[in-house]
Amino acid sequence: MLEFRKDLFADERDDNLNVIGKGEQRQDMLGHVTGRTRFFDDHGFGGLLHLKVVRSPHHHARIRSIDVSAAERAAGVKRVIRGQDVPLNKNTLLSLIGFGKDDEPTLAVDKVRYKGEPIVAIIADSDAEAMAAAKLVRVSYDPLPTVFDVQEALKPGAVVVNETYPGNYFEYHEKYDHQKLRFGDVEAAFRTADHVLEERYQMSPIEHASTETNGTIAAPETNNRYVVHSCAQGLFFSLGTTAKILALESNRLHFIGGTVGGGFGGKVDSLTEPLAVLGAILTGRPVRYVLGREEEMQFGSPRGAERHVIKDGVMRDGRIVARQITSYFDAGAYTRLTSYGVVKCVAHMPGPYTIPNVRGDAYCVFTNRVPATAMRGFGVTGVDFSIEVQMDKLAHLVGIDPMEFRILNAYRDGDMKAHRRVAHNTALIECVQVAAQKVNWPLSETARRASSLSGGGGPRAAIPPTVTDESGRIGRPETRQAPPQLAPGAAAPLPAYQSPPAVPIYQLPPAHQPGAPLPNHPSQPAAVAPPPAPIPPVPNPPATPQHGAARFSSVFTRRR
Amino acid sequence: MARMPVQFRLNGSDRAVFVEPAETLLGTIRRGLGDFAPKFGCGQGTCGVCTVLVDGEPRLGCLTLSVTCEGRSIETASGLADGPTLHPLQVAFMEHFAAQCGFCTPGMLMAAKALLDRNPDPTRVEVVEAIAGNICRCTGYEPIINAILAAAQQRGARRA
- A106 and A233 assigned to the same domain: yes
A260 at B interface, C-beta within 8 A: yes
A482 at B interface, C-beta within 8 A: no
A531 at B interface, C-beta within 8 A: no
Whether the Cβ atoms of residue A119 and residue A107 lie closer than 8 Å to each other: yes
Range list of H helices, B12-140: 25-27, 88-95, 105-118, 124-130
Chain A residue whose CA is closest to B47: A211
Q: Which amino acid is at A359?
A: R
Q: How far is A258 from chain B (nearest CA, A)?
A: 11
Alpha-carbon distance of A394 to A542, in angstroms, equals 29
Q: Which residues of A touch B136 (CB under 8 A)?
A: 211
- On whether residue A61 sits in a domain, the answer given is yes
Question: Which of A35, A48, A261 lies closest to B37 in CB terms?
Answer: A35
- What is the pTM for the complete model shown? 0.85
- A293 and A318 assigned to the same domain: no
- A238 and A323 assigned to the same domain: no
A509 at B interface, C-beta within 8 A: no
The pLDDT assigned to A6 comes to 72
The pLDDT assigned to A490 comes to 40
SS3 state at A339: helix
- On whether residue A412 sits in a domain, the answer given is no
CB contact under 8 A, A44 and B81: no
Question: Which of A32, A44, A128 lies closest to B99 in CB terms?
Answer: A32
- On whether residue A343 sits in a domain, the answer given is yes
Written as one string, the DSSP assignment of A157-187 is: TPPPS-TTSTTSB--BTTTBSSEEEEES-HH
Q: Which residues of A touch B65 (CB under 8 A)?
A: none
Choice between B24 and A17, residue whose per-residue pLDDT is larger:
B24
Query: Shortest CA distance to A477 belongs to which of A347, A322, A324?
Result: A324
SS3 state at A217: strand
- A227 and A311 assigned to the same domain: no
Size of interface A-B (CB pairs under 8 A): 98
Does the pLDDT at position B46 exceed 70?
Answer: yes
- A111 and A194 assigned to the same domain: no
Alpha-carbon distance of A178 to A171, in angstroms, equals 7
Q: Which amino acid is at A283?
A: T
- On whether residue A167 sits in a domain, the answer given is no
Q: Which of A299, A321, A338 is the last residue of a domain?
A: A299
- On whether residue A25 sits in a domain, the answer given is no
CB contact under 8 A, A211 and B39: yes
Q: Which residues of B touch A35 (CB under 8 A)?
A: 35-38, 76-78, 80, 105-106, 109
CB contact under 8 A, B40 and A28: no
Written as one string, the DSSP assignment of A392-431 is: HHHHHHHT--HHHHHHHHB--TTPBPTTS-B--S--HHHH
- A480 and A537 assigned to the same domain: yes
- A477 and A370 assigned to the same domain: yes
Question: Which of B31, B42, B102 lies closest to A32 in CB terms?
Answer: B102
| pLDDT in 10s for each residue of chain A, 560 residues | 556 677 777 787 777 777 778 878 999 999 999 999 999 999 999 999 999 999 999 999 999 999 999 999 999 999 999 999 999 999 999 999 999 999 999 999 999 999 999 999 999 999 999 999 999 999 999 999 999 999 999 999 999 999 999 999 999 998 899 999 999 999 999 999 999 999 999 999 999 999 999 999 999 998 999 999 999 999 999 999 999 999 999 999 999 998 999 999 999 999 999 999 999 999 999 999 999 999 999 999 999 999 999 999 999 999 999 999 999 999 999 999 999 999 999 999 999 999 999 999 999 999 999 999 999 999 999 999 999 999 999 999 999 999 999 999 999 999 999 999 999 999 999 999 999 999 999 999 999 999 999 999 999 999 998 888 777 777 665 444 444 444 444 434 333 434 444 444 444 444 444 444 433 433 333 333 333 444 544 444 444 433 333 333 333 433 33
What CATH number is attached to the domain comprising A70?
Answer: 3.90.1170.50
Q: How far is A169 from chain B (nearest CA, A)?
A: 33
Query: Shortest CA distance to A329 belongs to which of A270, A392, A375, A266?
Result: A375
A485 at B interface, C-beta within 8 A: no
- A389 and A359 assigned to the same domain: yes
- A336 and A475 assigned to the same domain: yes
Whether the Cβ atoms of residue A111 and residue A343 lie closer than 8 Å to each other: no
Domain that holds residue A55: 49-144+222-299
The pLDDT assigned to A1 comes to 52
Q: Which of A299, A331, A362 is the last residue of a domain?
A: A299
Whether the Cβ atoms of residue A200 and residue A308 lie closer than 8 Å to each other: yes
Interface test with B, best of A30, A32, A45, A214 (most B CBs within 10 A): A32
Query: Shortest CA distance to A60 belongs to which of A112, A116, A103, A4?
Result: A112
Number of domains in chain A: 2
The pLDDT assigned to B156 comes to 80
Q: How confident is the model at residue B1 (pLDDT cuts 50, 70, 90)?
A: low
- A271 and A389 assigned to the same domain: no
Q: How far is B131 from chain A (nearest CA, A)?
A: 15
Q: How far is B42 from chain A (nearest CA, A)?
A: 5
Choice between B156 and B90, residue whose per-residue pLDDT is larger:
B90
Q: Which residues of B touch A376 (CB under 8 A)?
A: none
- A56 and A197 assigned to the same domain: no
- On whether residue A526 sits in a domain, the answer given is no
Query: Shortest CA distance to B134 belongs to which of B62, B27, B58, B46?
Result: B46
CB contact under 8 A, B36 and A25: no
- A487 and A396 assigned to the same domain: yes
- On whether residue A6 sits in a domain, the answer given is no
Preceding amide of A350 cis, omega within 30: yes
Domains of chain B: 4-79 (3.10.20.30), 88-159 (1.10.150.120)
Work out the number of other CB atoms within 10 angstroms of the CB of residue B14: 8
- On whether residue A30 sits in a domain, the answer given is no
Q: Which of A258, A281, A299 is the last residue of a domain?
A: A299
